Chain A
């Protein structure tokens, strides 16, 4: 059975003038980690808010745990855990008070489901008497996850849970998610870190309210149509400007220590061009695309299409 299904879900704001979610359909299998990847304003949070029964869709239907998000909203609220994009715990309550509060609201106790949150909670337990507002980013995020889990939900909704969190804490956080998956919990997560996208079972790329591709990270990468090159030279800013103004360039952008480049012409032609532009000791090699490259490519394509429409 699918843990989450969306059928032609549409959501508009401001009396229909702003289209936030545009005819979106997909499903998430039980025990799956499904990543929603998209730029700001793509509609990710609107999807989260509809599935967590906080917003009503304009059109379409959706289920969580087999229940309808409109008719059965009360049942759904009992079986879902939700970590909103903004830190939403009570800043004036301590760590322990927050957890206790959420357990009580869901008719349970910390003791009853302690096993589920134990791994995470032991890390913040030394600070259990500290007010939530005084915690660091990494700690807040762990506490928010504990509070979302304390009633043993079937489905977990995590809206950008790791924004502003350092790489060490992010790794730990994803290890926790894997353990939760092993216990059969379904996870829908959004993120702006592309390395995290590769840790999902499947990812959906969403742009302007539409889901453009749904596949495993590997299959997403395999679908990249062009050959991709990595280029580097001592003067990277000049290299970037030169390659962007080269007529045969499809796309060129920074990527760590290299620039990533896709071309309409042969490798030899661009190399010749770079020599003409006096890049003497540049490095040029083919490289494998990543989820990030796929995402940038889709976004650029989409932006150009919109640009043409506006003209």
Chain B
């Protein structure tokens, strides 16, 4: 059960003199929902990009889905899904075309793509909108579609970088219903968010401050350790001590 799917040891990334990620070490287990929190500029996106094989670390070690981030980044990419903060779907393609495109990229057969297209559009109640441009969808729908597209190839792990930013409370919950379902199927979820109520939905949470991991535990464990009632307060205590300004 406790199979490890992500393992890092003193993973570090420098940009010139600037240490964006500073010797982080942690493990993530299969099927876990792992929350990755931190203030703007704490180093979350940089860490995530290294784990996705998009950025070569300066030093340290890390394996993702059993592959080494230094030597096997292409293998990693085949075995993960990634939903980036800025870009995930092609706005000028329709809902169906996006599913076809990503299915194709991840090497699904035409038959599988057809099945997935039906499955996803029905699941989201988007069958009426299937031939509309993604641009015309409200943000919450886009994000849900984008998540399902990022796991279209049933990856071992999916990385979600602020998937619910700007999404209203109702839609955010629908989004999390999808995350729960994915985790239930054994997909490991690695997620960043600024909505701290969402941290409570994770099995374990890390809080990054100035490139370092300052806390790592279950939400209940963190609340207990810091003697506070909410993750909000834990975060506030830690993030306020950050020396690095959010730039």
Contacts and interface: CB of A to CB of B under 8 A. Distances in A.
B169 A192 contact: yes
B162 A164 contact: yes
A89 B62 CA distance: 39
Nearest to A295: B169
Interface stretch (B20-28, B53-61, B92-100, B191-199): B191-199
Interface string B183-203: 110000000001111001100
Contacts of B194: 164-167
A70 interface: no
A292 interface: yes
B37 to A, nearest CB: 9
A136 B167 CA distance: 20
Given A254-B201, A296-B169, A166 B239 contact: yes
B14 interface: no
Nearest to B238: A168
A89 B236 CA distance: 29
A257 B171 CA distance: 18
Contacts of A165: 40, 194
Given A167-B232, A256-B197, A295-B170, A39 B138 contact: yes
Contacts of B201: 236, 254
B77 to A, nearest CB: 26
A137 B166 CA distance: 13
Given A166-B39, A237-B184, A254-B201, A160 B166 contact: yes
Interface string A132-161: 000111110000000000000000000010
Interface string A20-55: 000000000000000000111100000000000000
Nearest to A297: B170
B219 A127 contact: no
A40 B138 contact: yes
B240 A168 contact: yes
Contact of A137 (B180, B184, B196, B246): B246
B176 interface: yes
B211 interface: no
B196 A167 contact: yes
Given A164-B162, A165-B40, A254 B169 contact: no
B185 to A, nearest CB: 11
Contacts of B169: 192, 194, 292, 295-296
B247 A164 contact: no
Given A136-B41, A137-B40, A167-B236, A127 B247 contact: yes
Contacts of A41: 138-139
B39 A40 contact: no
A253 interface: yes
A136 B40 contact: yes
Contacts of A164: 40, 85, 162, 165-166, 194
A7 B169 CA distance: 28
Contact of A167 (B162, B176, B239): B239
Interface string B157-174: 000001001111111010
Contact of B247 (A136, A168, A237, A255): A136
A240 interface: yes
Interface in A156-206: 160, 163-169, 171, 192-194
A228 interface: no
A292 B173 CA distance: 12
Nearest to B140: A40
A296 B235 contact: no
Give 7 nearest A-B pairs by CB, closest first: A39-B168, A41-B138, A163-B166, A40-B138, A166-B39, A256-B200, A40-B139
13 contacts: A38-B168, A40-B140, A166-B39, A167-B39, A167-B232, A167-B236, A168-B235, A168-B236, A192-B168, A192-B169, A237-B180, A237-B184, A299-B168
Interface of B: 38-41, 85, 138-140, 162, 165-171, 173, 176, 180, 183-184, 194-197, 200-201, 219-220, 230-232, 235-236, 239-240, 242, 245-247
Interface of A: 38-41, 126-127, 130, 135-139, 160, 163-169, 171, 192-194, 236-237, 240, 253-257, 292, 295-296, 299-300
